Amino acid sequence: MTYDELKDQIKDAMRARDKVRLSILRQVHGELKDIEVNERRDVTDEDVTAMVKRLIKQTSETLEGSQKAGTDEERTQNLQRQVEILNDLLPAQLAGEELTALVEKTIAELGAETKRDMGKVMGALNAATGGNFDKAQAAKDAGARLS
């Protein structure tokens, strides 16, 4: 997602009067605006993705606390919806057969043979996909192919 796409989604949420979506999108926008002001640079697509991931983590932690407390059902549902909205903003994660093929290709390119090479394989996958892959599945696939 780009910064301009985020702004467009904010406008769409305003038109639809979707308060929950508008709230979380404005939160992302505000955090990105801080980058522009404090660091005096333009926001990149990587900044947008990193900020969305950070907010997913924060909102998920708040959601867990709300679920454990169990006192405010409306707040819990609101937080669940916010996490879903944030997840929709991220590009689709690489998983399944595509990920398995990439793991095999990476192992072949690196010449990895033992479990000691697992870090190199995971690092190369991270670099190739920008960290946008199912890490648990990748580790399982790589572990099965490395002795």
Class of domain 3-89: mainly alpha
pLDDT digits (tens, 9 = 90+) for 74-129: 889 999 999 999 988 888 778 788 888 999 999 999 888 888 889 999 999 988 88
Q: What is the spatial distance between Cα 31 and Cα 42, in angstroms, rounded to a whole number?
A: 13
The first and second tokens of residue 62, run together, are 């708040």
Q: What is the pLDDT of residue 24?
A: 94
What Rg value do the Cα atoms of the chain yield, rounded? 19
Q: What is the spatial distance between Cα 107 and Cα 48, in angstroms, rounded to a whole number?
A: 30
The answer to whether residue 147 scores a pLDDT higher than 80 is no
94 beta partners: 133
Q: What is the spatial distance between Cα 126 and Cα 138, in angstroms, rounded to a whole number?
A: 10
pTM of the full predicted structure?
0.69
Residues of the chain with CATH 1.10.10.410: 96-145
Give the H/E segment covering residue 9.
helix 3-16
Architecture per CATH, domain 96-145, reads as: Orthogonal Bundle (1.10)
